[in-house]
Amino acid sequence: AYALHVSEHYRRASEELLHAYQRNKEANRHHEAGAYKAALHHVKLSKHHAFNAHEHLKEALVISEKISQSDAPFSQRAGILGKSGLQ
């Protein structure tokens, strides 16, 4: 369940980054054409999408860290059991 949740955050971050890139390209086109007000609008949209991507990546990181923390005690127990079995 956690893995699906993490991958959903990665998917959404990827989509947001794509939108940010597209808006940034559009802002550049407007800026080159001298339409500075339109360029500013698209830059703001790009920033918004980049922020959303950042938030999704932060959430994915938090969940991943929780997963690794909950796996650590199990891994340590398995290592201890493995060593005691060899002696």
Report whether pLDDT(86) > 60.
no
Q: What is the pLDDT of residue 2?
A: 84
pLDDT of 66 strictly over 50? yes
Q: What is the mean pLDDT of the chain?
A: 88
* pTM for the predicted model, two decimal places: 0.76
Q: How far apart are CA 71 and CA 2, in angstroms?
A: 12
SS3 string, the chain, reads CHHHHHHHHHHHHHHHHHHHHHHHHHHHHHHHCCCHHHHHHHHHHHHHHHHHHHHHHHHHHHHHHHHHHHHHHHHHHHHHHHHHHHC
Taking the C-alpha atoms of residue 67 and residue 7, their distance in angstroms, rounded to an integer, is 13
pLDDT in tens, 27-49: 999 999 999 999 999 999 999 99
